[in-house]
Chain A
C-alpha cells in the first residue's frame, strides 16, 4: 500500500495537468527505509513527449547525489499517461529499475477526472496496490482510500 499525504498527491496531479498533453514525471523522496514519501521533486521530461518520459541524465545524477547526501531514497516515482489509462505500459515495465519504489501512474486523458494508481514493478511483474491518501503522514488512520 502507498500512503501519501493530500498535499503531495495534489502536487503530483497538478504537475500532470500542467504538462498535459506531454507526460509529466518526478519522484517523491523519503528517508531511507521509512517508505514515507515526504519530499516532492518534479522532474523535467527530457523526452517532452506525449508517449514517453525520461529524466534528463544530468538532472538524474544531481537528484541521486542529493538523495544520497540526505539519506533518502525514491519512495515514489511518478509519471502521467495523457491518452491512456493509469496502468504501466510495456515500456514502463521493461524500464522499471527501482524495485523498492511505488510507481505512481496518473492519467489525464479525461479533463475533469484524474486517475491516480500505484504499482510495484519488480523483475517485470506489475502488482497493483492500494493508495491511501492521508492529511499528514504522521496520522495513524487513513481518511480516504484515494479512489475517485
Chain B
C-alpha cells in the first residue's frame, strides 16, 4: 500500500508525464519529501518558505488540506492526494 498523488498537467514535467505517482509518509510534508526524492523539483512548485503555496490546491480524499492541517495533515496508506493549480487572476 502507498499513497497515490494525482499530478496536474502543468507539473507532469517532473513526473515524466505520469498523471499520478505514489509515495509514503505520515504527514503531507513527509509525503511531499518522499515524492521529491524521485521527482526532483516538484516540492518547490508546491511549497515555499511559508508552507503550501497560495495558488496550489492540495486535497486529501477530496478535502482541501487548508481546512485540515496544511502540511502537517496526517496521511496514511490508501489515501488519495490530488494537486490542482488554482484557477485565478485579476
Interface residues of A (CB under 8 A from B): 25, 27, 43, 47, 51-55, 57-58, 60-61, 64, 73-74, 77, 79, 88-92, 95-100
- Chain B residues with Cβ below 8 Å from A97 are 8, 10, 55, 85-87
Residue of B9, B55, B62 most packed against chain A (CB within 10 A):
B9
Given contacts A61-B57, A61-B59, contact A54 B88 (CB under 8 A): yes
Contacting A99 at CB < 8 Å: which of B10, B55, B57, B89? B10
- Is the C-beta of B36 less than 8 angstroms from some C-beta in chain A? no
- Is the C-beta of B82 less than 8 angstroms from some C-beta in chain A? yes
Given contacts A60-B57, A98-B9, A100-B9, contact A52 B88 (CB under 8 A): yes
- Chain B residues with Cβ below 8 Å from A60 are 57, 84, 86-87
On chain B, the number of residues with a Cβ less than 8 Å from chain A's Cβ atoms is 17
- Is the C-beta of B64 less than 8 angstroms from some C-beta in chain A? yes
- Chain A residues with Cβ below 8 Å from B90 are 51-53, 89-92
Contacting A57 at CB < 8 Å: which of B8, B10, B66, B89? B66
- Chain A residues with Cβ below 8 Å from B85 are 97-98
What residue of chain B has the Cβ atom nearest to residue A84's Cβ?
A: B90
Nearest-neighbour CB distance to chain B for A40, whole angstroms, equals: 15
Interface residues of B (CB under 8 A from A): 8-10, 55, 57, 59, 62, 64, 66, 82, 84-90
Identify 23 residue pairs between A and B in the complex whose beta-carbon atoms are under 8 Å apart, listed by A's number: A25-B87, A27-B87, A47-B88, A53-B88, A55-B87, A57-B59, A57-B64, A57-B66, A60-B86, A61-B57, A61-B62, A61-B84, A64-B82, A64-B84, A79-B89, A90-B90, A91-B88, A91-B89, A95-B55, A95-B86, A95-B88, A97-B86, A97-B87
A47 to B21, CA, bound (A): 32
A64 to B85, CA, bound (A): 11
**A57 in contact with B88 (CB, 8 Å):** no
Q: A54-B88, A57-B86, A92-B89 are in contact. List 11 more A-B contacts (CB 8 A).
A: A47-B88, A52-B88, A55-B86, A55-B88, A61-B57, A79-B89, A89-B90, A92-B90, A95-B88, A98-B87, A100-B9
